[in-house]
């Protein structure tokens, strides 16, 4: 992983610093064409999102990655090795403050909007994308190919989302 460097207190994009992108454990930032593309894609997402966001996880070194999964109760030998966080191509975001006050239908519409926006950005950059929903927030990633024939992958809370509209 020779493309991992440590850069502090510099802007990576208009709205994000390298500190926000960096691994919370070692401070590493990836500078591969794919990770830089993800940075640009997430910047576009932020502009369309029209609210301040602070990613809670972007780049992860292996130690931080293992730590995240162990805290969720996953045995160390079962931690997935394929996370896009390990190459700086995934971003996790907490739900906005007003999310808790939304009705179930409003939450569904908000999630569909996130999926639709991220997939449009992915298509613009000619990559596949992943969108994951969790109780704490959502995950966006960029990848070379999707596991799903639709050209993108989406997981979490699928039972409520009507993904046919995307």
- Long-range contact list for 44-49, CB < 8 A, 24+ apart? 44/121, 44/124, 45/117, 45/118, 45/121, 45/140, 46/13, 46/15, 46/16, 47/14, 47/15, 48/117, 49/117
Domain count, the chain: 1
pLDDT in tens, the chain (166 residues): 445 555 555 788 889 988 899 999 998 888 889 999 999 999 999 999 988 888 999 999 999 999 999 998 999 999 999 899 999 999 999 999 899 999 999 999 999 999 999 999 999 999 989 999 988 899 999 988 777 766 677 777 544 444 444 4
Residue 80: give its domain's CATH number: 3.30.1380
Residue-range definition of the domain harbouring residue 40 = 4-165
Mean pLDDT of the chain: 85
């Amino acid at each position: 992983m020779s493309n991992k460097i440590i850069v502090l207190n510099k802007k990576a994009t208009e709205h994000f610093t390298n500190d926000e992108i960096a691994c919370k454990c070692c401070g590493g930032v990836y500078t591969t064409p794919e990770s830089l593309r993800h940075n640009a894609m997430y910047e576009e997402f932020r502009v369309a999102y029209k609210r301040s966001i602070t990613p809670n996880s972007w780049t992860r070194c292996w130690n931080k990655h293992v730590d995240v999964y162990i805290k969720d109760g996953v045995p160390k030998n079962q931690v997935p090795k394929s996370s896009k966080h390990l190459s700086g191509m995934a971003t996790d975001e907490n739900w906005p403050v007003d999310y808790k006050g939304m009705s179930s239908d409003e939450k569904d519409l908000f999630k569909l909007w996130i999926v639709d926006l991220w997939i449009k950005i992915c298509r613009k950059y000619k990559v596949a994308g992943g969108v994951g929903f969790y109780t704490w927030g959502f995950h966006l990633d960029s990848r070379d190919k999707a596991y799903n024939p639709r050209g993108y992958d989406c997981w979490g809370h699928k039972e409520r989302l009507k993904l046919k509209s995307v």
